[in-house]
Chain A
């Protein structure tokens, strides 16, 4: 029983970490846990503007 509980805790911890990372990546976060590391807020037009410079 104790083994099951610990296994469950580990699965919960790793699962939560993986879900968080996947969600953040889908939102366009370039680096997990990096402040101001550039969420993908620009539209494609912005990319063109930046690229042309």
Chain B
């Protein structure tokens, strides 16, 4: 048996899906989080039958006439795969909008049971619904649900009702003659007239079943808050303050406080293993286990508490509805530089992980805008980059919070700047697109949902540390221990190791950026496998077992030691951070770019653009930073300016070529 969950965006489909199947699919308090169908099996505690019941979560849709790609997926599934029952999730606080789609689902003849979700909010809104009349008027079953609750949420009854109506014929409350339906497929005016009639029917039904004490048109507190939070000029500084607070708590106060205990455990484990091995184990094996595995992985995992606190806070922000406002604030900037209004969704998702962010670009219809968004989304610092941000902001800057906040804003600035360049290079005229996003109501964020989201990310982080990072660190340790003749490299001769010989040519290119050491180059290279590897590799090559001092709640030696070991100035450290954040993402994300761009020219062009952006930005940060702090430019300025100049010249040439493509030739007008 197959049950499809269909409904308007942000009606709570994925929350219901997770509750029914026990899945942990991404939910968000804003429209457009689900972009493809998800399939799960109904939990046995809800299943009244002996057979397995498949639950299919479909992307949100306002109508069966597809306007967006998500609506196309929903329509295609419902019509072509013919589920046994459709559970139509309806926002009980907004029936006028939701029941339009319900009437269209009822037309299909597939049994429909309507989940009147968010019914807990009706009391708050002083709204009373006559569910009995609603059932009679709509000719289908209605069940009150609150998908976010764990007890008395109505889900048992919902499933029982769905199973009971399976196989029955569905009546339709709004009759449209089949000839008229056929005609509407070819004539937009007929379709519009039918839609208006359908809306009038829904309005009339809602008027008869709903008793509101509060007028819809009255300005609510939410409207007043939105006028400030989503203001076109105030919105950005407010977002800056919010992010600064988030980073302050996660990277400066609560995060390091929790990390202190955690790193203490890792240290204790390291010492325990070291003592247990004593001198009886070969130095090669012991250094591989201690420095490569425990030290390298431990250095990365040591940042777990900071990341958990950060993601917990970001989940709270998303759940309370604030991130949807940020999307609205950013939307107007992105549209001006030739991106789709929808481009903001992949970018917000990309703050968690670039891969689902890049995958979310498939909802953008315009090919150039979709590819440009896929190319620029990795500029938003993702979760994997957070340990790198935490390490450098903590080790080199006493007030760590501004560094993380600045990196987010720098990412946004690079996206805007990059979009302006790409639109010129492609030579396509900037077409303004319109993006209507329904703002979810503000609500008190759920601690449980935020905790689950945080634990989900923590689990993923530990899995990555125990697999990819573990293997990479071991490989780095082996490559650092041996030379090309597979002889053990003596102490002080590390520059003859395999790792040093591979990384050194790259390190030369990085001298103008302030970090020409082979160790730093090697860490940047391993970062392309997974960005957390930058921290792990630095721990292995510099022999630092942890970056967080358990005694003083500060990074090793109070900020000075890490800087001394790495031989970096503050400007060079910031440049190194910028280079790692804004050069191409990890290989998995590049694979996602390849899948969504569907064009090798765009893919390689995108990678080159990301590489150039990271290099140029790091060069500017290092040279300007050095000039400001010491009064003179940094090392390698002349070769660096030549390389950067060549990159800029290449981009300008491509932009001019694109401009010539945009301007139509006079002959074309005559023709």
Contact = CB atoms under 8 A, between A and B. Distances in A.
A31 B353 contact: yes
Contacts of B467: 17, 20-21, 32-33
Contacts of B183: none
Interface string B271-306: 000000100111001101100010000000000000
B356 interface: yes
Interface residues of A, number: 28
Interface stretch (B35-43, B93-101, B390-398, B417-425): B35-43
B468 A10 contact: no
B325 interface: no
B464 interface: yes
Interface in A17-34: 17-18, 20-21, 30-34
A33 B464 contact: yes
Interface string B350-370: 001101100100100100000
Contact of B285 (A10, A17, A42, A46): A10
A39 to B, nearest CB: 9
Interface string A35-53: 1111001100110011001
B456 A2 contact: no
A53 B75 CA distance: 13
B564 to A, nearest CB: 32
Contacts of B460: 33-35
A47 B217 CA distance: 43
B464 A32 contact: yes
A32 B468 CA distance: 8
B76 interface: yes
Nearest to A51: B598
A36 B281 contact: no
A46 B37 CA distance: 9
A7 B383 CA distance: 33
B605 interface: no
Given A6-B281, A32-B468, A46 B36 contact: yes
B268 interface: no
Contacts of A18: 471
Contact of A53 (B352, B362, B457, B592): B362
B36 A36 contact: no
B36 to A, nearest CB: 6
A48 B37 CA distance: 14
A50 B465 contact: no
Given A6-B277, A46-B37, A53-B72, A14 B471 contact: yes
Counting chain B CB atoms within 10 Å of each CB, the highest count among A13, A21, A34, A41 belongs to A34
B413 interface: no
A33 B69 CA distance: 28
Contact of A14 (B37, B384, B456, B474): B474
A38 B471 contact: no
Interface of A: 2-3, 6-7, 9-10, 13-14, 17-18, 20-21, 30-38, 41-42, 45-46, 49-50, 53
Given A31-B592, A33-B468, A38-B359, 4 more contacts: A13-B293, A31-B586, A38-B356, A42-B37
7 contacts: A6-B281, A10-B288, A17-B471, A37-B355, A41-B37, A50-B362, A53-B72
